[in-house]
Structures are given as structure tokens and as C-alpha cells.
Amino acid sequence: MVSGFYVTTPIYYVNAEPHLGHAYTTIVGDALSRWHRLLGDDVMYLTGTDEHGLKIRQAADAAGQTPQAFCDTIAPKFADAWTRLNITNDDFIRTTEPRHYAAVKELLQRCYDAGDIELDTYSGKYCVACEEYFTDEELLDGSVCPIHKRPVDHFEEENYFFRLSRFQDRLLKWYDEHPGVIKPEFRGNEALGLIRGGLRDFSVSRTSLDWGIPLPWDERHVAYVWFDALTNYLSATGFGDPSVDYTNRWPVDYHLIGKDIIRHHCVYWPAMLMSAGVDLPKGWAVGGWLLVDGEKMAKSTGNVVNPLDLIDVVGVDGFRYYVLAETSYGSDGDFSFEGLVGRYNSDLANNLGNLAARVATVVGKKCGGVGPAPRSDSPLAEAAATAVAGAISGWDAVAPSRALDATWGLIKATNAYLEINEPWKSEPGAEVDTVMGDALEALRIITILASPAVPQTSELIWQRLGISGSVTDQRIPSDVEWGGYTGGAPVEKGTPLFPRIVS
RNA sequence: GGCGGCGUAGCUCAGUAGGUCAGAGCAUCCGGCUCAUAAUCGGAAGGUCAUCGGUUCGAUCCCGAUCGCCGCUACCA
């Protein structure tokens, strides 16, 4: 039986264009999805855009457009960026789509019917110029808008509130019964800390806003951010559509999120689902931030990195490999141009690319250009098994850097194996054939294991090895067992896969 | 203020119910090789595992204190 695997990224707010942070999470999700396809899972990888709210309304007004027209110009920039980064999302959800409206209304109605959404008064300090509420901490001297430097007004607004406060015990009990659902573990502890610290009801609607989804029972209000944004994960499963069984996909296997949105995804969201009688997610994988030269990327510091600029330097696979291998998912990573080029040269050009080149050359010179079969008892077989095991456990833990490190271990072992045997010194014959057959088999396994990170290059190596089919048709573990390569096909050298970058 | 985390080779980081646990990669140096994208292979060097105490036969790993750094502290995706 084929098992399903459903993974999501946060939906990205369309008030800015795609940047490195978006790309980071999206690449991790893509690599994870590709890995699970290799495992034979029926994968659904979802990403999308968040298009409602005041800031979009304001940005649209400033651009002299309707909000919908404004979103229609930005959302494709995300979709296009993911295409260029070779992201294989199976769906792209936009919160302005009818299916999303249906899902949000369904979820809201369920929580309302359960008695967990009630009308109440939201009061707060409000800056008329910003059209925004502020907390005391955000204000200067407790009463002055930090942006406009003018006193704020005390405003009250009727809002519907979600009674999050009722869910503290239920959430704690659920997390207690489901250890390890949040990875890495220390992020799970942070979520528990947030819950233990006490939960306050939060408002789920606004009357002061019109760019949003109307509440099904009271159209004067539109849904405020949480019920709108978080629900996207259900929308894409068909939740809210009576003709579809959304449980074919739900519950989700992993929500990939940033550490800054733990509260919303690991506290609000499960409580909302509990209230609505919807199963809770099977897992969350929390990532850190990708800092830029040690600092948080921000417009104000002028260090916003556009990922699409980088692929001109190191290629799509070079960029993908870098963000996956260089950072330990869960902790903050540090992006630097030097690091990018360093990783590219050492791991891709010198190791993977060079190995493929030297193997192809020796096969050409000593084996007549046709790949010989490996031996079953090769010393490399054990290294291969170690790499496979390491890759499996790494991806299973949503730790791409560990999975890739294990994979690169086999590259290193193969290079060492060639040095020991020095096939280039021998005359053509059985001895050389054996060595090169082993190297080709190792390269075949490496190519499969590396393919979630460097899909384009993997496919190219696959073709040059002369193996039929495609890398994406391979299955783990059956196709990464030693001996799968039978030889007999021409091996093509081709141009360097990753030309060294000399600065 | 409260809660939590971090501080291990030049750099990025692993690590341990406390006893070959002092590790990896990159960078550096020496040597080999020359099939390969001046790539690769072997070796060396490099750390009192932040500081000071305590527990213990024994602590990088446990406890306390100190110094330094960083998150979160509730309606912003």
C-alpha cells in the first residue's frame, strides 16, 4: 500500500517579493518531498500566498489597484521563483481562491457552532495614521506611535474572539501524548512553554477591514489573520467542499515553519482544529532563520538577498545544495557569499563533479567507454550501505544537512577507493573493470541519494552513466542496494557538471 | 524583570544514562599521485571543550556561581 505524505510551507505574504528566507523553507520542503517520492510515498507538497489584510489593501491603494489586481501581480512572482528553483510543489494555494473561502467559512462555522467563538470587545491603542493597534511595549512612552510619533487613541471594536483560554489543558495533554511531533525537540519545548505560560483568547474578526473573508454568520465582520491564513493547509485538501473527502490528505505530515511562528502554528492552530473536530497535524518541522552575514535579513539593513541572483553564480543546484547542506535545520544558519562559493567548490566541483569526471575518463580510456559491472563483495558496498542508512535517518529527522553529509561520505570513500587501486596505471582487463564497475555503482547510488538536493545534476549524471529511465523513477531502499548497476552501457563524460569558481 | 538557549580546534559545527569523548568538514603545512574541474589520496599541526568552585575514584558532559552572547515575553506574516 502506498502511503501518503503531505507537507506544507507557510504561505507567503504578498507585500514583498520572494527573498532568501522564503526560498530556504521552500527548498527544504521540496527536497523533503523529493525524498519521500523516492520512498514511494504519494506526496503532496503545498505552498502558496497569503493575500488578505490591511497591508495588502494599503499597498494596493498606493499602487492605484484593486487588492485583487495587486495580488494577481505579486502571487505569480512567487510561483515563478519556485519554478526557477526547480520546486516541485503539487499545488499552490492562494487565499483569494474560492476553495479557500469555502474552507475558512467551514472551519469558522464549526468553531462557532462548538461555542468557541464569541462576540466580545477588543480594546486597544490605535494609531489613526497607521490604522493599526499597538501594544504598550510597542509604543513610545506607552502612548506615542513609534512610526508617526503622535499620540494614539484608545479604541474599542466589536470582535469575535476564539476562546483559546479553554484549550490549555487539552493542548498540554495532547502534546504529552504525542512526544516528538515538533522537530527539533527543543522547539517543541518552546511550544510547551508558550502553552504553560497561559493562553489568552484572540480575536478572529475585524469590522474595520473589508479585504478579507466575511464571517458566515455575520457578514459585517471579515476573518482576521489566523483563521484566514492557517486554514490554507486545509483548503488544499478539499476541506469545505462537500464532494471531496479531505481526510484523503489530512492530517498533514509536516508543517514546515519558521521559529517565529511557533505560537500560531503549534498553539493556535491545534486548538482551532480541536474545536472544529478536525484531526491535528502529525508533525511540525521548525526551522531557524537564514541570517545574512550574521545579521537578520531586513530591508532596513539593506542585506536582503534575492535568491534568483545567486543561481546565476552557482546554478540552481548549487544554491539548493548550499542552503540544505550549510545549515542545520532548526538552528539559525548564516548565509554568506564566501560560504556559498566555498561549498560549491569543495562539495560540488571538487567532490561530486570531479568524481563523475574522473570515473568517466578512466572508463573511456581503460574500459572502452562501456561501464563494467561491479562486484558483489566490493569494499565500497559497506560505505554505500552506511551512506544510505545515514541519508534515511537524516531525512527522517528533517535534517537535510545530515542526510547530505552521509551521502558525501560515499563520494569520499569512492575517491579514496580509486586512489588505492589506481586503475589508470593498469592495462585494460578484468582488474580495472572490477574497480571501475564498483566506482560506477557507487556513483549510481550517490546520484539517487543526492537527487533531492541537486535534481537537475542528478538527472544529468544518470544519463551520462547510460542507465535507462530517470533518477526520479528510482525507489529507496530497493534501488540503492549494492549491485543494482549492471553495466554494459556507454558512459559519457560530458562537460564539467560544476565548473570551479575562481574568484 | 520572567522563561529558555548558547559559549568545544583559525572558521562552521558534532558529541557524551559522566570513565580511549577530545571529534568531523573547511582552511593551513608536509608527502604521494597525475585518471580527474591545479581536482584527489595519505599524514601533520591545531582546543586547559567560556571562567571559578562543588559532587565523584574520575566531568567537556551533573550541580552552583560568574562573564559574554542570543531568543521568547502573547493578536506581525
Candidates A64, A69, A87; CA nearest to A18 is A87
SS3 content of chain A, % helix, strand, coil (to 5): 50, 15, 35
Given this model, what pLDDT does residue A451 score? 97
Q: What average pLDDT does this structure show over A75-84?
A: 94
Percent of chain A scored above 90 by pLDDT? 60
**Separation CA A298–CA A164 (nearest Å):** 32
Contacts of A498 (CB under 8 A, 6+ apart): A315, A317, A318, A344, A348, A349, A352, A353, A457
**Separation CA A49–CA A52 (nearest Å):** 9
Contacting residues 452-481/A vs strand B (CB within 7 A): none
Going by the DSSP 8-state scheme, the letter that residue A479 receives in this structure is G
Residue A229 approaches strand B within 7 Å at CB: yes
Given this model, what pLDDT does residue A137 score? 55
**Separation CA A445–CA A42 (nearest Å):** 22
Name the average pLDDT for chain A: 88
Per CATH, domain A4-116+163-287 is 3.40.190.10? no
Per CATH, domain A337-480 is 2.60.40.1510? no
Given this model, what pLDDT does residue A242 score? 96
CB A440 within 8 A of CB A363: yes
pLDDT digits (tens, 9 = 90+) for A246-265: 999 999 999 998 888 888 89
Q: Integer distance in angstroms from CA A199 to C1' B54?
A: 40
CB A9 within 8 A of CB A26: yes
ipTM: 0.84
A206 closest-nt by C1' vs CA: B75
* Alpha-helical segments (H) within A327-454: 337-343, 354-366, 379-396, 400-421, 430-450
pLDDT digits (tens, 9 = 90+) for A312-344: 889 999 999 988 888 777 777 777 788 888 889
Residue A200 has pLDDT above 60, yes or no: yes
Percent of chain A scored above 70 by pLDDT? 91
CB burial readout A185-198, b (16+ within 10 A) else e = eebbeebbeebeee
Integer Rg of chain A from CA: 26
Candidates A373, A360, A388, A378; CA nearest to A461 is A360
Given this model, what pLDDT does residue A328 score? 77
Residue A455 has pLDDT above 70, yes or no: yes
Residue A294 has pLDDT above 70, yes or no: no
- Segment among A89-103, A127-141, A195-209, A373-387 with least mean pLDDT: A127-141
Residue A425 has pLDDT above 70, yes or no: yes
Given this model, what pLDDT does residue A299 score? 59
**Separation CA A344–CA A351 (nearest Å):** 10
**Separation CA A465–CA A345 (nearest Å):** 23
CB A368 within 8 A of CB A432: no
Phi first, then psi, for residue A300 (nearest 5°) are -65, -30
**Separation CA A456–CA A324 (nearest Å):** 15
Grade residue A393 by pLDDT with cuts at 50, 70 and 90. confident
Pairing verdict, β A42-50 and A117-127? unpaired
Q: What angle do CA A127, A50, A156 make, to 5 degrees?
A: 25
Give whole-number Cα distances, A490 to A369, A411, A440, in Å. 6, 22, 12
The maximal CA–CA distance of chain A, rounded, in angstroms, is: 89
**Separation CA A282–CA A272 (nearest Å):** 15
A296 catalytic per annotation: yes
Do the domains A337-480 and A4-116+163-287 match in fold?
A: no
Strand segments (E) across A271-383? 284-287, 290-292, 333-335
Question: What's the grid cell of residue A227?
Answer: 483563521
Contacts of A456 (CB under 8 A, 6+ apart): A86, A315, A316, A317
Residue A295 has pLDDT above 70, yes or no: no
In chain A, where the domains are located:
4-116+163-287, 337-480
Residue A139 has pLDDT above 90, yes or no: no
Given this model, what pLDDT does residue A309 score? 82
Residue A396 has pLDDT above 60, yes or no: yes
Q: What average pLDDT does this structure show over A388-399?
A: 88
A255 catalytic per annotation: no
CB A120 within 8 A of CB A163: no
Residue A146 has pLDDT above 60, yes or no: no
Residue A74 approaches strand B within 7 Å at CB: no
Give strand B nucleotides closer than 7 A to any protein Cβ.
Answer: 3-5, 12-14, 25-27, 32-42, 71-77
Given this model, what pLDDT does residue A143 score? 64
Grade residue A410 by pLDDT with cuts at 50, 70 and 90. very high
Q: What average pLDDT does this structure show over A51-72?
A: 90
Given this model, what pLDDT does residue A127 score? 63
Q: What average pLDDT does this structure show over A391-397?
A: 88
Q: Integer distance in angstroms from CA A427 to C1' B55?
A: 67
Residue A158 approaches strand B within 7 Å at CB: no
